[in-house]
Amino acid sequence: MSGPLLEIADLHAGYGAVPILFGIDLHINEGEIVCLVGSNGAGKTTLLRAISRLIRARGVLRFAGEDLLPMKPEEAFARGLVQVPEGRQLFGHMSVEDNLLMGAYRRRDKNIAESFARVYELFPILKSRRTQLAGNMSGGEQQMCAMARALMANPRLLVIDEMSLGLAPLVVDQLLAVLKEIRAQGVTVLLVEQDVFAAFSVADRAYIMETGRVVRDGPVADLAENRIVREAYLGGAA
């Protein structure tokens, strides 16, 4: 493959006659953690729905060199583009282990046991809770389960929507550490967050969205030093 793992150029999307995204340009290189930040209504989730092929879009949308626009969601998923949705969306009436198996439902290889070992090493609490109903776990444990379920699909690009939402700071710190380990294992990550401090602490580069447009992008170290970004998203912190 030549070029970025995910390439987006002049992407437009919306719902019916209502436009939401206006000419989005974004790319993610293999091996990066990239964050997409912005307030509610900025268009972040709409962009994720376009990437995952849940809504129509026009422009350039390529994954590993292939055109995503004609694909169905399951076709993008089969190529390794896997999303952890906002709100986790676990099967609460099923056990933790059965939820994890749902992440591997399209796999035909014989390495499922290795994948279980991998996610249980990343999230030891899930191994001890593997027979427990997913709906009975805490919010942080459910987020871990949702991330582990996605990893069971052997993603090439892991997209995580609002990972920190509703979670205690200690749990968020644990999950951010796991993201670094996931990247070290060869998985590229797109992290979509309202918590800019959390996102910047782990990402290599960032894109900032406002009203359906990318208004700033660059290395997080540079953006964190930008006065406008600090005042708007980091509370004026230096």
Q: Are 189 and 156 in contact (CB under 8 A)?
A: no
State how far the Cα of 171 lies from the Cα of 231, in Å rounded to an integer.
Answer: 26
Average pLDDT over residues 91-114: 88
The pTM is what?
A: 0.92
Q: Tell me the residue type at 199.
A: A
- Interatomic CA distance for residues 126 and 151, integer angstroms: 13
DSSP code of 41? T
- Kindly list the distances between the CA atom of residue 16 and the CA atoms of 19, 57, 76, 80, 181, in Å, as whole numbers in the listed order: 8, 11, 22, 28, 40
Q: Is the distance from CB of 156 to CB of 29 less than 8 angstroms? A: no
Encoded amino acid at 216, one letter: R
Instruction: Report whether pLDDT(238) > 50.
Output: no
- CB contact at 8 A, 8 and 26: yes
What's the pLDDT tens digit per position in 153-182? 999 999 999 999 889 999 999 999 999 999
Which among 57, 55, 66, 2 is positioned nearest to 24, based on CA atoms?
57
Instruction: Identify the DSSP state of 134.
Output: G
Average pLDDT, the chain: 92
Lowest mean pLDDT among 173-187, 199-213, 223-237: 223-237
Average pLDDT over residues 207-230: 93
Beta bridge partners of 206: 35, 218
Domain covering 1-80+156-238: architecture: 3-Layer(aba) Sandwich (3.40)
Pairing relation of β-strands 213-219 and 205-210?
antiparallel
* Span(s) in the chain for CATH 3.40.50.300: 1-80+156-238
Q: How many residues can be counted in the chain?
A: 238
pLDDT > 70? residue 2: no
- Report pLDDT for 87: 80
Q: What is the mean pLDDT of residues 69-96?
A: 92
H-only helix segments in 52-158: 73-78, 96-103, 112-122, 124-128, 139-151
| Of 207 and 2, the one with more pLDDT | 207
Q: Which of 82, 116, 115 is nearest to 97 (CA)?
A: 116
